[in-house]
Amino acid sequence: MDQLDTPMDIDKPPDVHAKYTALGDAFVLSLRFSCDHPARKCTPSTRFHFVLDNSGSMGRNSEAAKECFADLAAVATLGVSLVAFNTTAELLGEAFRTPAEMRGVRLPRQGGTNITAGIQASVDLIRKFAEKEDAHHLLVLLSDGMHMSGPPPSSVLPEMGAKLKKDFPRLRLSVVVVGVTRNSDTSMGMLLKETLETVPLDLQPIYFADSPQQMTETLQQMNQGLASLQGSLVSVSLDQGRFIRLVGEDGDPTAEVLANHEEQVLLCQGEAPKILTVDGAACECEALPTLDADLVIKALEKQFDAARVRRVAAGTESTRPAVKKLGEWIAILEAASAGTTTKLELAKANPKMRLAQHRALKTAVSGFRSLRNQLVELDAYSANDSASQAAFLTGATRKYGAKALRRAAAHGEVDPEERRRELITEAKALQPRMRTALWDDLLAKVQQLPKEAQQKLCSELAGSMPQTPAAFREFCLSQTENAAALQRALAEKLVALMGCRQSYVSLQSSWEHLSEWIDFSPEGCNTEYELLMCLGIVGYPMEVERRDATQMNPYAMNITRIRATPVDTASVATALHSEQPVVPPEGGKSVEDVLILVDPEAPTASKLAVSSLLLRETYTSVVLCRDLHMFTGNSMVMALHAHALLAALQPPGQRTDDVVQHLRRQFLGRAYQCASCGYGPIDHFACGDLEAHHGEQMGTGEINNSCPRCQWFSPDIHDWQPWDGKVPDEALPQSSEAEAPCATAAALEVFLRICYSARKLWKTHDQSDLHQLCQKLANWESITSADDVDHPVKLLLALAIVDELPTDALEQVPMLSVLNEACARRAHDELKAMGHKEEPQIMGAARKRVASFLGIVSSSAPETQDLMTPEPARPSVRENCCAEFTLDDQEFDYKNWVKDNALPTVHVLRTIRALRTLLKNRGGWKQLEQDMEKGTQAYADVVQALQTKKSPDLDLAKWLDVKGSREAKRALATIAAQAFLHQSSKLRRTVDAGGCLSEPLPDVRDGETLRNLAVDIRMAIYDERVAQKNKAWASDGKMLILRSAGNASLAEYEAFLGRATHVHGLDKSTFWGLWEASKKDKAKMSAFLRTANLYFAWKHQT
């Protein structure tokens, strides 16, 4: 970062590309230095100067800081100096060349805190070097407290800095501040930067450690930042304009910038130059025809950084001019970009087009919003403590900054840049395999065409080459330069001949999106998100409900809907990251997530894409966790397949959230609502005089401009309030009792494709894990989470896709087991959602809920005996406990609760049963897979056979094998009661399996099952009463026994003793009560000691 060793030839133009864009009364200058520029080739001359707090409060941290500083001795080319300060300052070394040299220096005794002395000693050394050499100096101050002795820095630093800059106008000095604990003085550190620094670096203005324990980590971050600086400093000069370090200042005609691979952006005022000077060499400066928003945003971001430093260093008033001027420039930027902001045009867009559109929109939306937020924050900031000031300086107080820091803390092991390179490397490595795989898939489709169509297609694409299938394949695989064009041409012709699914957003087929993997070039992909915009696959839109636990347990989520209209992940990722909605063609909620599957239309190529790191890990992580780096394993992919299988087969119907979204898109911002009752939306579009046509006859109807709900009316449109987006219940679809088929043909198509994809991704033979799950069902084993059954939906997926299903796996008892397990896990989730964490709290809430719909009150539970009377054996109490119940769904609608949780599973189980019957008669899954790869017509019979018109309610009754409404209500109540009272794995497994049951849970269809559950609740109430009695006995039992035994006859006293074969078998209160009572009667004492152990009798024998 020093000047060149040999002067640059002024007549020779430097390898610099300069351009500028106008910004009101200012302009933004951009400089790019080519790799051939001399300043990028030479080794920079640098000196680092460390000023270390060695006060008593630092303790061992002074030595730890010195160790970290020593690592940078190998980075600075001219050496490292070290000043340690306590009450005074001591220069411990001027130019350490190696880390070992610096580590060998002993720190002096610790004392007070004289920051001024430490800075002065380091500045004196910088002066000494500046007189004899031209180097880039970097001063690093580390302190954990406030200045305590000597003149305060606030009174010394301004004069010190002014004199230093006057004496050495060409001095290149950068300042880095490290604050340790909240006692450190952040404002003083920023004053140091303000007064001494002449060359700002693209580093944090302060490195702050909230505690001494975090100091080493913070210093390592600083070391990494300093070590990553590349290039040498060059001087850039303007003839007319001036470089602005902070808005409101006069500026300087010369600026020092780092000549490295990055673009350097500078804000300037004055006349824009046609020629500027770079290290003495003239350089032409290109004028951009329109305002470049990217350049302006980068320049203003730097201004905000400088303004934050000034705000902390000198207070609010010091940044008032900057705030005002920055606001004016942001307004100019927004106005200039308003007309250019457009919606995404993703139809037939290639990766470069998607990326370019995203960047344009992102700049217009996020960039402007970020600048506005920073402006408001800068104007309103008022905190004065060091930690808050450090957060303000580093951006951690801003919403996006805090979120980034949280993610960085949670995933410190993931380097985004390293991960991006890893994804690019794998994508490039996949290209030859993807090219071959796509050829295989396309040529397999060609083989399915009639012979005449094959010959015609081959002739059109290959000209006069021999047109046998083998010859055409050899021709295609031999193409190198024209391979991509030939593949696209073949794909287009096959789409026209055979039809193929297309993304309704990109209007491209699965083959076309897969071909983008072959043509992929990583140039311009700066983030992982941008890679997702470039490379994708056609899938199905889905709506995902996530939970906090999804990262640890990917099954802890829910897919509420799968749409049958295909969409591609690349377009959706582009739209979402550009904050643009993707509206489904059928309307409703916007698309945010896509289910990616192995596609039978391109089985080989799509499997490669689905199995890639980009889609399998990164995209799956985004879908489930809304984070790029939360992927925890292939169980995430299986969880999506399994939950999607359940969602795909649910009955169709209009949903209220779809209606709400549609109305908001159509009317929000243009419709009104009633000023009296709030009803809306009411469309008074383009009608200012509502009375003109109010009541007018139109055909057989009448125009009514009043409120449809309360009939309020005003002729003045200004009296009506703008609609707030709330949709009244009257406008929402009402539930219909009409029977609906369980699934449409389109839904069954999605179901079969999910099964196909799962079979391609996981093993399904009779030794596979999925087959073992099915075997558990067939064996009537428990299927709790403790039995390695992650979720009931995983069982459904296994039942659908394994090669050969175990005998009896789809019989009545296993299917009831699946329904009961699904309800039990739902009950567990609901109880946990109530805020209950501990098992006693969860069970208390469960019993309360079940008691509410069984009509059980505490008065019907067994009562305890009086305090002096022992309780009978618990089995005896249970035998005599009331088992009656009265079903009541007023407080908790158990019937609909069971239907809501069981019916979705019933729909899937019914379809799986039908599918399994079909597979037996048409060659099994292997044949169905081949048919799916041929096209929809080849397996249309399967889709048609799976469709049914049966009522879902009748299906549930049939599944439960119950007759009559009374028996059905009892069975539903039993399922709900058993689900809540046995909602955990421990409560659903036998003792032999690690649970607490003496025998497996009884059949929910058995009438005695519910009676026993009613007894369980009453016995739990009885147990609570016994616990209260025991607590009272522990408190008062001794006195009661003493009183009764003291007044008792000898025979009665001996009866007390006879309650146990040995007095030491009595409870504590009874034992000591009887002993105290015996002390006044030798006969009673003798009787007591006869039944005591030898040691107690010997000790108390008189």
- Assign 205 a pLDDT band (cuts: 50, 70, 90): confident
Q: Extract the tokens encoding 600.
A: 């039978």
Whether the bond into 153 is cis, omega within 30 of 0:
no
CA angle 768/770/773 to nearest 5° reads: 115
Contact 272, 25 (CB under 8 A): no
**What is the spatial distance between Cα 243 and Cα 317, in angstroms, rounded to a whole number?**
23
**What is the spatial distance between Cα 512 and Cα 495, in angstroms, rounded to a whole number?**
10
The tens digit of pLDDT for each residue in 1029-1067 reads: 888 877 776 677 777 777 888 888 878 777 666 788 788
The tens digit of pLDDT for each residue in 690-724 reads: 877 777 776 667 778 888 888 889 888 888 888 88
**What is the spatial distance between Cα 524 and Cα 91, in angstroms, rounded to a whole number?**
49
With pLDDT > 70 as the criterion, what percentage of the chain qualifies?
89
| pLDDT at residue 410, rounded to an integer | 39
What pairing do the DSSP bridges indicate for beta strands 275-278 and 538-545? Answer: unpaired
- Assign 1018 a pLDDT band (cuts: 50, 70, 90): very high
Q: What is the mean pLDDT of the chain?
A: 85
* Helix (H) or strand (E) run with residue 373 in it: helix 368-380
Strand partners, 19: 30, 286
**What is the spatial distance between Cα 136 and Cα 569, in angstroms, rounded to a whole number?**
49
Contact 1068, 1034 (CB under 8 A): yes
Predicted confidence (pLDDT) at residue 683 exceeds the cutoff of 60 = yes
Three-state SS at 79:
coil
The tens digit of pLDDT for each residue in 509-518 reads: 998 999 999 9
| pLDDT at residue 131, rounded to an integer | 92
Task: Residue 802: name the closest of 925, 905, 909 by CA.
Answer: 925
How long a stretch of residues is the chain?
Answer: 1102
Comparing 125-129, 413-417, 736-740, 1022-1026, the range with the smallest average pLDDT is: 736-740
The tens digit of pLDDT for each residue in 308-345 reads: 888 888 888 888 888 888 888 888 887 877 655 567 89
- Assign 463 a pLDDT band (cuts: 50, 70, 90): low
- Assign 800 a pLDDT band (cuts: 50, 70, 90): very high
Give the DSSP letter of residue 763.
Answer: -
| pLDDT at residue 592, rounded to an integer | 93
- Assign 898 a pLDDT band (cuts: 50, 70, 90): very high
Whether the bond into 681 is cis, omega within 30 of 0:
yes
Task: Residue 609: name the closest of 572, 647, 569, 649 by CA.
Answer: 569
The tens digit of pLDDT for each residue in 956-974 reads: 777 788 888 888 899 999 9
| pLDDT at residue 464, rounded to an integer | 52
| pLDDT at residue 249, rounded to an integer | 82
| pLDDT at residue 481, rounded to an integer | 62
Chain centroid offset of residue 206 CA: 29
- Which tops the pLDDT comparison, 389 or 1056? 1056
- Average pLDDT score over residue span 671-681: 88
| pLDDT at residue 453, rounded to an integer | 76
Strand partners, 235: 256
Q: Extract the tokens encoding 709.
A: 């709900």
**What is the spatial distance between Cα 156 and Cα 124, in angstroms, rounded to a whole number?**
14
* Alpha-carbon distances, residue 899 vs 690, 893, 954 (angstroms): 49, 10, 11
Contact 937, 974 (CB under 8 A): no
The tens digit of pLDDT for each residue in 404-442 reads: 333 333 344 577 888 999 999 999 999 999 988 988 888
Contact 776, 789 (CB under 8 A): yes
The torsion angle over the Cα atoms of residues 1082, 1087, 1089 and 1094, rounded to 10 degrees, is 140
| pLDDT at residue 443, rounded to an integer | 83
Task: Residue 720: name the closest of 679, 665, 765, 773 by CA.
Answer: 679
| pLDDT at residue 7, rounded to an integer | 37
**What is the spatial distance between Cα 1022 and Cα 1017, in angstroms, rounded to a whole number?**
9
Contact 540, 595 (CB under 8 A): yes
Concatenate the DSSP letters of all residues of 906-948 into one string: HHHHHHHHHHHHHHHHTTHHHHHHHHHHH-GGGGHHHHHHH--
**What is the spatial distance between Cα 1086 and Cα 1092, in angstroms, rounded to a whole number?**
10
Q: Extract the tokens encoding 45.
A: 């001359």
Comparing 45-59, 478-492, 921-935, 1084-1098, the range with the smallest average pLDDT is: 478-492
Chain centroid offset of residue 383 CA: 31
Tell if the pTM clears 0.75, that is, is over it.
no
- Average pLDDT score over residue span 1070-1082: 83
